[in-house]
Chains A and B, each alone.
Chain A
Amino acid sequence: MGKFLFAAYAITWLIHLSYVCILGRGYKRIHAEMNEHRSGSSSDESAH
């Protein structure tokens, strides 16, 4: 395999895997945010 062919295939999968990681981080963040919101609203209710 030539260096250009290897670079093309490697970079293609690097781009795709990076995007999958970005999506994973997005899910993690949004779940943390929603959990925080849920715990915040339940503590509000108990305060009332």
Chain B
Amino acid sequence: MKVKRTVLGLAVFALLAYGYYLAMYAAPTEATMGDVQRIFYYHVPSAWTAFLCFLANFMASIVYLVKRGQRADAFAVASAEVGVVFCTVVLVTGPLWARPVWGIWWTWDARLTSTLILWLIYVSYLLLRKFSTGGQTPVLAAALAIFGFVDVPIVYFSIRYFRTQHPQPVIGGGEGSALDPAMAKALLVNWVAFMAFAAILLTLRYRLERLRQRAEEAHILKAERADAESTPGAEIGRIR
């Protein structure tokens, strides 16, 4: 099992390194923006990966509300956390591209604002899970996740339905939207690599959450036992 995990880890690392090579060296330099356009190969795959993580969180939250299973709850929190990590990358790499190209770090247009709101929604989801102590926390978090996911299609379609400063889609954007095959290859390989890396992070975080759930159950059980032993009724019962 350990060998399998190591091989899988090395394969993902090799894929990420190949993606880096394609993005930095093999893909042609964009005519108007120059080398700074290469940020696109990390920015866009990170955004797509974050969207898929939030979709996984949405589905796990529905499953949790229907079945109330701990596995679904663990998967929901893991996918939200990994999604926030990738969404953070999007929000950092975007302004780093915008500064040399637009001359500004940030503008309050539909795509940028809706992405920031998306990040804030899932950060608030994680804060709710971390600092709320009531037994209803997973239920409240699942409800927040279901409503929060509404922002994902808004972010995705914002550049299609609103006039934004953000570039128009280069894939699936209708007539006139096209990408050089070498650029498309670099984008696709990086996306697959980021997805594989996200899957590893998701698995690690899911296992950690399951361990935390078991530790919490053990604590509750121990506390209940101690409570039962300290009550007079329990003492009498034991003497008899």
Contacts and interface: CB of A to CB of B under 8 A. Distances in A.
Q: How large is the interface on B (under 10, 10 to 19, 20 to 34, 35 or more residues)?
A: 20 to 34
B158 to A, nearest CB: 22
Nearest to A18: B85
Contacts of A4: 36, 39, 96-97, 99-100
A30 B212 contact: yes
Contacts of B85: 15-16, 19
A23 B204 contact: yes
**Among A12, A20, A33, A41, which residue has the most Cβ atoms of chain B within 10 A?**
A12
Nearest to A36: B215
Contacts of A20: 201
B92 A5 contact: no
B38 interface: yes
B93 A8 contact: yes
Contact of A15 (B92, B100, B208, B218): B92
Nearest to A31: B211
Nearest to A37: B218
A40 B99 CA distance: 57
A27 B8 CA distance: 20
Contacts of A16: 85, 89, 197
A39 B234 CA distance: 25
A19 B92 CA distance: 15
A20 B203 CA distance: 12
B35 interface: yes
A33 B219 CA distance: 10
B61 interface: no
Interface in B199-235: 201, 204-205, 208, 211-212, 214-215, 218-219, 222
B24 interface: yes
Contacts of A40: 222
A-B pairs, top 3 by smallest CB distance, nearest first, are: A8-B96, A8-B39, A8-B93
6 contacts: A1-B24, A4-B100, A8-B96, A11-B89, A11-B93, A41-B222
